[in-house]
Homo-oligomer: A and B are copies of this chain.
C-alpha cells in the first residue's frame, strides 16, 4: 500500500466510475481553480460579505473564467427549499390571468425566484394533478386560482408544508393567503348601475358558468340586487363555449330575438361585450339608447370602444403583486404559526357611454 493513496487511482477523470455527470462546471472545479475549498465558494455565493477580501476576488474570477452556473437542483436538495413558486391559472389565454401572471413573474424575478406555471383549463381535476406534479418540485409556495378545489387537492396541499395562496376570489377556509375581491359585489354594482340608469329588464350573458365560478358569482350578484329592489328577475344566458366576441355577438342576436323587452345587459366580461357592441352596430341597435351594455375587466379596448364600454375593473396586476409579496413574507417567516391572510383589493366601476 503506497503512501500516497491518491496516486493509485490517479486517473480520477477516467475513473469517473460508471456514473455520468452533467458535464457542467461544478463548484468543486471552481474551488480548485481558485485554490480554495468548495465550502468557501458556496459561502461566497450565498454570503459574499462573509468571505475574506483575499479570497473573494479569486473566487469571483474563477466563477467568471470557468463560466460557472450553479446547479440549483443540487442546492435545493441540500438546502431543502427552492426559490421557485408554482402558479396554476384556469387559462393563460385569458387576459386577466395573463396580466396577473405577468405581474407575478416580475415580482418573483426581482426576488430571485422562478415561476412554475400551470394551466388547469378550468378543470378541477387537472388542477389537482398539476398541484401534485408541482409539489414534486418542492416549490417555496403554491398559488391557485379561485376557491374551488377537489377534496384530494385540499388534502394534498394541507399536508404539504408550504404556503398556499388562492387568488381572484375571497371566501371561507383560506389556506395561508387569499387575495381578490368580491365578484358578487361586482355583480351588484353593475346591476345597480344599470338600474339607476333606468334599466328594468336586465340580462346576464356568461360563458361556461358552470366552470367559471367567479362569473357565476357576478351573475348571482346581479340577481340578488334585482331581487332586493323587487325588480324583474334576471334573465341569464349561459353560452356553452368559452367567452369570445363572436359568442357575444350571437348572444345579442338571440336575446333580441327572444326577449325584446331586455334593456340592459350585463356581460360576463368585456370580451363578450365587445362582440355585442359590434353586433349592435351591425343590427342598427343604438347603444345605450335602446340597450345598455356593461362588461367586466376593463380590457384595453373598453376605453376606445364606440361607445365606450362601462365596465368593472379588477385589480389584475395588483393581485399578482400582492400574492407574491405576501407569499414571500410567509416563506421567510418561521414555518410554524404563519397566520392566514385575506386581502380584499376591491374593484372599480368605470362608467362610460355604453350605459
Q: Footprint of B on A, CB under 8 Å?
A: 20-24, 67, 69-74, 76-77, 80, 82, 84, 91-93, 95, 98-99, 101-102, 105-106, 109, 114-119, 130, 132-138, 155-156, 159-161, 244-246, 248-249, 271, 274-275, 278-279, 281-282, 300-301, 303-306
Contact = CB atoms under 8 A, between A and B. Distances in A.
In the A-B complex, the 8 residue pairs with the smallest Cβ-Cβ separation, listed nearest first, are: A72-B136, A245-B301, A92-B102, A245-B304, A278-B306, A117-B117, A73-B77, A105-B119
Given A304-B246, A306-B282, A136 B92 contact: no
Contact of A72 (B91, B137, B159): B137
A130 B278 CA distance: 41
Contact of A70 (B109, B130, B136, B301): B136
Query: Most chain-B CB neighbours within 10 Å: which of A132, A135, A301, A304?
Result: A304
8 contacts: A22-B138, A69-B135, A69-B136, A93-B95, A106-B119, A117-B117, A246-B304, A278-B301
B246 A132 contact: no
Nearest to A81: B22
Nearest to A101: B92
Query: Most chain-B CB neighbours within 10 Å: which of A160, A248, A278?
Result: A278
Contacts of A69: 132, 135-136, 156, 160
Given A73-B73, A245-B304, A246-B304, 9 more contacts: A21-B80, A67-B159, A71-B77, A84-B137, A92-B92, A92-B98, A92-B101, A245-B303, A278-B305
Contacts of A116: 114-117
B245 A271 contact: no
A69 B159 CA distance: 11
Contacts of A161: 22-24
